[in-house]
A and B are shown apart, each in its own frame.
Chain A
Amino acid sequence: MRTKELVKMYVKEFLPFLEYALIVSVVLLLFSVLESEQKFRLNDFQNQFISIPYIFDFFALLCVSMNHNRFKLAIQHGIDRKDFWKAKLMLMAKASLVVNVINLVFVLIIMKMHGMNSLAYTSTYFGFFHSYFIDVIFMFITDYIALLLLMVCVNCFGTFASLFNRYGKICFYLILAAMYFFVGSILAKYSVVASFTHFLGRIHTEVFLNLVFGLYENQKLHPYSNPIHIIISMLIMLAIAAAFNLLFTKLVQVKR
């Protein structure tokens, strides 16, 4: 009962983030229309429209990343760390559901505006079930699990960072930034990319791509990829991320 009340409170805190996402989306759409010196171009408006689902995703991620206050409040009222972890997951599950319902509307509009090839999912998986309705259902499920996985990973990251004090956090972020620049700089070297491509050519990547992403090498034989594979892969990754999230949550302490 206490966990459910906590989740209700967290969901109430989440709703303003949807308002912020809506405001930002409207502002960006207006700018796309107004910034052109010439008359209104439908193209600019349509191009900007594609970014709206990502804006909602971003604000949902922002909401779940600000977590330490929720943790302190839970601990204050005698809710143990495992129950708090359950409350977090329930919040993320509900938030992901709400955002995906909103995004589904936008995605269907985008598909009408730009056609099936406008989005990564629709160009890869849409049509596998030969039924528009079932394809939409599976698109919704895939997006839902993808956003939920992303939320759990972001929350995991934030929970891990909260284990450190200020100096520890600085070191942690510096190491992350260094890794990012290091990877970016080695990928810029042609020799590294060439070696990696050669390596991929020697291993049977098509088996891996089919198993994890449901992608087929032979497009003529299999014009549409299987979304069930990617759903299962993401569910496995979600379970692993959630397990790490629990591990880190159990380690968090309230700072004085």
Chain B
Amino acid sequence: MSKIEIKHLKKRFKFSKEPLFTDINITFEENQIYGLFGENGAGKSTLMSLIADYNFVTAGEVLYDGEPVHDNSKALQNIYYMSQNNMYNKNDKVKKIFDFVSKLYVDYDVELQNRLVKKFRLDESQKFNKLSTGYKSIVRIIISLCVPCKFIFMDEPTLGLDARNREVFYTSLIETYSENPRTFVLSTHIIEEIDQIINHFILLQDGEIKMDSSIDDISEKSYSISGPSEDVDKYIQGINVLDSDQLGRYKTVHFMDELPNREKPESVDIEKMKLQKLLIYVMEKEGK
């Protein structure tokens, strides 16, 4: 199984006062869907660009199967980075862009591409620069889903997409992942939409990886308990609460721990804590 390892990665831009990354250590395994989260300016796009050898690290290593990624065509052929920036000739028609990309990859999935074009209702005869922001993202998404690379990094894939097209993207992603498993790394701010898709959660903050966990591990230990405040307080006595919301008598508490070893009152509801809530808490806590 292939993997991408990042070891003690540091990155400082020229003339900047602070380094962007101080010590990044992370491994991307094959056939997983990762969600990469972080505040604005945390360095999600830069991290992806370093992995794809767009830009160079200041220190540390990015390894593909133990070999450095830099100037390594074997590694780079298996890594695709869908950046927010447009890399295609603006005056080319969409069909021409697709034809060009399909010639660059031996196993490019043309059938999937045609299906996605229909699903997204993309007009291939349009020039790329005449497309709306959303449809430019769609062109990039289609190419990302069709390239035969083992690791696909998608930076804000849903940028500019309406609700319908976002739904099409998520269902298409799951379908193609089921048919042809490979690793997807999605960086997005719309957490509540992708928390059902990803199976691994990564939080990038203050130049480091603050959280790197599977969704199952997080779900096992993160709960939201709601009900009448006195019942909730009684039930969660001794538990370290992350956050709580109260509306009149009704209270909701969020915590990351095992459930209390006592009988649950009937008036109290237990559910898995929403990833968004957890992320906000962690980001606020680390920011203090």
* A residues with CB within 8 A of B: 1-2, 5-6, 9, 13, 69, 72-73, 75-83, 165, 250, 253-254, 256
Contact = CB atoms under 8 A, between A and B. Distances in A.
B104 A77 contact: yes
Contacts of B149: 78
A165 to B, nearest CB: 8
Given A78-B77, A253-B54, A253-B56, A73 B87 contact: yes
A165 B15 CA distance: 11
Interface in B53-98: 53-56, 71-73, 76-81, 83, 85, 87-89
The number of chain B residues touching the other chain, given as a range, is 20 to 34
B205 interface: no
B164 interface: no
Contacts of A5: 100, 103-104
A254 B52 CA distance: 11
A142 to B, nearest CB: 34
Contact of A80 (B45, B76, B80, B81): B76
Contacts of B105: 2, 77
Contacts of A79: 73, 76
B183 interface: no
Contacts of B85: 72, 254, 256
B137 interface: no
A78 B54 contact: no
Given A80-B53, A250-B71, A9 B100 contact: yes
Nearest to A2: B104
19 contacts: A2-B104, A2-B105, A5-B104, A6-B104, A9-B100, A73-B88, A77-B101, A77-B104, A78-B52, A78-B73, A78-B77, A78-B79, A78-B149, A80-B53, A80-B71, A81-B71, A253-B56, A256-B46, A256-B85
Contacts of B72: 80
Given A69-B87, A75-B87, 19 more contacts: A2-B77, A2-B104, A2-B105, A5-B100, A6-B104, A75-B53, A76-B81, A76-B83, A77-B80, A77-B101, A78-B76, A80-B71, A81-B71, A82-B71, A82-B73, A253-B54, A254-B49, A254-B54, A254-B85
Q: Per DSSP, are chain A's interface residues mostly helix, strand or loop, or mixed?
A: helix
A254 B73 CA distance: 17
B163 interface: no
B106 A1 contact: yes
A13 B89 CA distance: 10
Contact of A83 (B46, B56, B73): B73
Q: Per DSSP, are chain B's interface residues mostly helix, strand or loop, or mixed?
A: loop
Nearest to B71: A80
Contact of B87 (A2, A72, A82, A83): A72
Contact of B55 (A6, A73, A254): A254
A173 to B, nearest CB: 19
Nearest to B69: A80
Contacts of B80: 77-78
Contacts of A9: 100
A49 to B, nearest CB: 33
B76 A256 contact: no
- A-B pairs with lowest CB-CB distance, top 4: A78-B76, A254-B54, A76-B87, A80-B73
Contacts of A76: 81, 83, 87
Nearest to B100: A9
B279 to A, nearest CB: 24
Nearest to B49: A254
A50 B88 CA distance: 38
Nearest to B73: A80
Contacts of B81: 76
A9 B56 CA distance: 27
A256 B46 CA distance: 8
A251 to B, nearest CB: 8
Contacts of B87: 69, 72-73, 75-76
B100 A256 contact: no
B141 to A, nearest CB: 14
A247 to B, nearest CB: 12
B55 A253 contact: yes
Contacts of B73: 78-80, 82-83
Nearest to B85: A256
A164 to B, nearest CB: 10
A253 B71 CA distance: 12
Interface in B144-184: 149
Contacts of A80: 53, 71-73, 76
